[in-house]
Amino acid sequence: MKKSVDLDLDRISKYYNQTAKSGFFQDISSKLWNDLGMNEVFHKIDHTLTKYGEQYLYASLRFVKKGPLVDEGLESTIETFVKNPRFESFLNRKLESLAKNGSYFLCNVFQRETPENPWYIILFYILSGLSVICVIFSFFMQWMVFPAILVITCNFFVHYWSKQNVSLESSSFGQLGEMLAISQLILKESKKQEVFLAKQPEIERLGSLIFKTSVLKPRMKGFSELAELAGYIFELLKAAFLIETILYYSLLKEIRENRTLIEANFEYVAYLDFALSIKTLRQSDSSITLPKESDLLQIDGKGMFHPLISDAIRNSIHIDKNGVLITGANMSGKSTFLRIIGLNCLLAQTINCAFASELILPKLKIHSSIQTFDELESDKSYFYSEAETMKEMLALENGQGFNLLLIDEIFKGTNSRERLVISSEVLKQLSQKNSIVIATTHDLELVHGLPDFMFFYFTGQDVAGIYQYDFQLRSGVLDSTNAVFVLRDMGYPAGVLEKIRGRLI
């Protein structure tokens, strides 16, 4: 079922933010993420059931893995679900049981260092042992009741003194135990049904950890009076013998020793949720296809569209040169199409999905300059901000794989004469042998400075006094503009429009 609530992307991104950024083909920058509108896209394509799955999906979209374009491991997992519907149904039920587990911070357990136990923990063991001895001997020697009361009273002070630390962590401990228990059940069921999945982690060594977390997790309220009474009695026993305090420090030690194993189980549960989500996404939209990898620097996209646009117009493009320039009328669809290309190339390399009838491309790193703003706090102008981005693109190394460079309205922050010269020279330099650069512009004259580029355009037409767009990509160069029509449709005074037309003739 598709989620209807707003997603907390600050918390969802926590797992990604705390993951080491090395070892990937590309770490998607915040600029590219925002340029492609990926927050909204994430909300659209997210069909995960757990918070772990949400975090894993987000990280998967931000990290482009090394290796082939299509992740065969993901396809194999999805195929396993298709062939084993009974196991998929079981998996859905178990993941749904974690759906209410608001564990966005569980990743802290293995992504952050657990503090060492304090030296004075030995005193807790001594006090706990003394309370046990005193209570036992008090049944045989009445005078032992007094030292038993003294030791237990001391233990109560220690228990409630350490309760603050335990309470802060108890929620995460409870979530950790639930996650590990589900991982354990999934592993048992997969063996029972003879379903073999990749990334199956070891769980046997974590049995004691699951038990300890069940003891330390917060006591639930709302049960029967008898259950509440039993809970209070258990709380008194934990205080009298320092059970909770000792378990807390024992659990911290066990977490330190098994961080890698805990992470493996977290990623196992999250990955299965992620894979189920991709399967559900494909079932929800039959237009989604599996991309194909090319060894050549080319992009062949047929029937591409944007998932956030209802009844979207589909466009096709075949790029077999290093440079592409898209001209077009105002609001005709240039910027949106730029995002469609970038978005589909990203999704193809991260979740094996293309919103297209066919998409063929090589493995490539994506860079963008689509949304650029004046940075008032740092006193950077619009032109300066864009020039910085262009400089970063120019600095890309030619020998480091293929690149896709997306530039919307290149250098629109400066005057027309300089803009034409700067834009043509920068675009020619960017369109090197290992890069495809796709730029949009209003400057029709820019075409003359880029003889080796491919040219496409968007346009519209005046119909019954209203300028309309068909959002269809056409090959060639735009031979007319629509700015005056836009001003007319906005209700500009007729006298102003006539003077504008007169000067443009």
- Strand (E) or helix (H) holding 318: strand 315-319
- The answer to the question of residue 88 being in a domain is no
Assign residue 309 the CATH number of its domain.
3.40.50.300
Same domain, 430 and 374: yes
CA neighbours closer than 13 Å in the CB half-sphere of residue 274: 23
Residues 200-224 have pLDDT tens digits of 888 888 888 888 888 776 654 445 5
> Residue 432 is part of which domain span?
287-504
* R_g (Cα) of the chain, nearest Å: 31
- The answer to the question of residue 424 being in a domain is yes
Give, in order, the Cα–Cα distances in Å from 393 to each of 36, 388, 414, 435.
17, 9, 19, 10
- The answer to the question of residue 367 being in a domain is yes
Contact call for residues 326 and 296 (beta carbons, < 8 A): no
Same domain, 216 and 263: yes
- The answer to the question of residue 22 being in a domain is no
- Strand (E) or helix (H) holding 467: strand 466-469
Residues 169-212 have pLDDT tens digits of 667 888 899 999 999 999 999 989 888 887 788 888 888 888 88
| pLDDT at position 82 | 95
* DSSP reduced 3-state for 177: helix
Give the separation between CA 376 and CA 157, rounded to whole angstroms.
55
Give, in order, the Cα–Cα distances in Å from 280 to each of 49, 103, 119, 182, 275.
11, 23, 51, 21, 9
Confidence at 481, pLDDT banded by 50, 70, 90: low
- The answer to the question of residue 16 being in a domain is no
Calculate mean pLDDT across residues 231-235: 76
What pTM does this model have? 0.88
| pLDDT at position 222 | 47
Same domain, 279 and 307: no
Same domain, 250 and 264: yes
Q: Is the pLDDT of residue 93 over 70?
A: yes
- The answer to the question of residue 494 being in a domain is yes
- Of 246, 263, 283, the residue at which a domain comes to its end is 283
Same domain, 137 and 165: yes
Same domain, 251 and 194: yes
Same domain, 311 and 402: yes
Q: Which residue has the tokens 């060492």?
A: 116
Residues 326-374 have pLDDT tens digits of 988 777 788 999 999 999 999 999 999 999 999 999 999 999 999 765 4
Q: Is the pLDDT of residue 488 over 70?
A: no
Of 126-130, 163-167, 282-286, give the range with the top mean pLDDT.
282-286
Q: Is the pLDDT of residue 485 over 70?
A: no
Write out the two tokens for 14. 């926590």
- Of 237, 260, 283, the residue at which a domain comes to its end is 283
Same domain, 298 and 431: yes
Neighbour tally for 34: CB within 10 Å: 13
Residues 362-417 have pLDDT tens digits of 999 999 999 765 444 444 667 788 888 889 999 887 667 899 999 998 887 666 77
Start-to-end CA distance of the chain, whole Å, equals: 58
The percentage of the chain sitting over the pLDDT mark of 90, rounded to a whole number, equals: 46
Query: Which amino acid, one-letter code, is at 167?
Result: S
β partners of residue 359: 301
- Of 224, 248, 283, the residue at which a domain comes to its end is 283
- The answer to the question of residue 314 being in a domain is yes
Write out the two tokens for 502. 């007169």
- The answer to the question of residue 72 being in a domain is no
Same domain, 277 and 310: no
Same domain, 156 and 222: yes
Give the separation between CA 310 and CA 82, rounded to whole angstroms.
29
Same domain, 291 and 264: no
Q: Which of 453, 376, 377 is nearest to 410 (CA)?
A: 453
Number of domains composing the chain: 2
Q: What is the mean pLDDT of the chain?
A: 86
Same domain, 267 and 320: no
